[in-house]
A = this chain, B = another copy of it.
Amino acid sequence: MAFPPLDFSKDRLKLLDQRKLPGAVEWLECRTAEEVVQAIRQMVVRGAPAIGVAAGYGLYLGIQNFEGRREDLLKLLEEKAALLKEARPTAVNLAWAVERVKKRVLSEKSRSADELKIAALQEAEKIREEDDRLCRAIGKHGARLFKAGETALTHCNAGGLATSGYGTALAVFYTLQEEGKAVSVYATETRPLLQGARLTAWELTQSRIPVTLVCESSVASLMRAGKIKRVVVGADRIAANGDTANKIGTYGIALLAKAHQIPFYIAAPSSTFDFSISSGKKIPIENRSSEEITEGFGKRTAPAGIRTENPAFDVTPHKLIAAFITEKGVLNPPYSKSLKVLRLSNDS
């Protein structure tokens, strides 16, 4: 079982307000494109795939109340699409989903206004269904790597909350649960923003998967004590050689896994591979504000004016990665071969 962070019915998009987790489970109802834009901007919904799905529905909501001529509907469609795409300009999935719904409508523009609205909703549903299918395929391929009853470590939140509900790294755990191969999970709290504590621990608890929350600082001693059999994390971007950018802390965990001979896996859809980048050295790393470290809990915990370094991501060299778990299957080393095959399949 997983926990979908959004639900669409009766022309309303309900979004789980992730800012309030884990303290409160509150749903925000959006009836217009503008409300969806607000929700994306304010991070009620987060995670590239989930944002894409929400934006798809958002474009339908932008036109669903329209009454009038077809030409005016198409004008409105363009306006709302532009509005949605600006909600978070760097989120690639957002623009992609909005464009996809728009194109679908335009491809049927000889039909009636009502039919065009239905086409928009159908395409939004399709995006959600595809994301779900893709996550479940990742889960299925990943689960084959596990024996029943093993304990895995994950970092940050590559979970249902970041997708249409089934996650990427966490998809592996949901599949293991569904297949009756009990799994238990260590989740790092994931400083500075605590996505592990706030989101991963919460969604695994909701799904009744046994989860133990730990500070990053105890990962090495847990590994040494034999308590962790495998590591599964997500990815933000994967270079052509397999070097992988993910939440800060991932590279350290990969090194610790190597030192303890524990397999370290990346679970991500094939769209995460960026074949235009030859290696991890070319992936730019965002540095974020000091306050995330020094006042992350609404309370100052470090001297005023202290210098910090707060990179949001790090790059794990492909040599530390035991396998990539994608919706198309598990990619094993040597990556110079297996990623070339994936590239051909992505291009097709």
Contacts and interface: CB of A to CB of B under 8 A. Distances in A.
A38 B106 CA distance: 76
Contacts of A221: 248, 251-252, 285, 311, 314-315
Given A214-B309, A259-B255, A301 B220 contact: no
Contact of A248 (B191, B217, B293, B305): B217
A88 to B, nearest CB: 24
Interface in A257-314: 258-259, 285, 293-294, 296-311, 314
A197 interface: yes
Interface string A109-129: 000000000000000000000
A212 interface: yes
A255 B255 CA distance: 8
Given A191-B189, A215-B191, A314-B218, A303 B248 contact: no
A200 to B, nearest CB: 10
Contact of A222 (B190, B301, B309): B309
A185 to B, nearest CB: 10
A310 B285 CA distance: 31
Q: Counting chain B CB atoms within 10 Å of each CB, which of A186, A215, A247, A309 scores highest?
A: A215
A202 B186 CA distance: 32
A211 interface: yes
Given A255-B255, A293-B189, A302-B197, A311 B218 contact: yes
Contact of A220 (B297, B306, B314): B314
B301 A297 contact: yes
Given A213-B307, A224-B251, A302 B218 contact: no
A329 interface: no
Interface string A5-32: 0000000000000000011000000000
A325 interface: no
Contacts of A298: 297, 299
Contacts of A296: 297
A197 B310 CA distance: 14
Contact of A213 (B189, B201, B248, B302): B302
A22 B302 contact: yes
Given A307-B213, A311-B218, A197 B297 contact: no
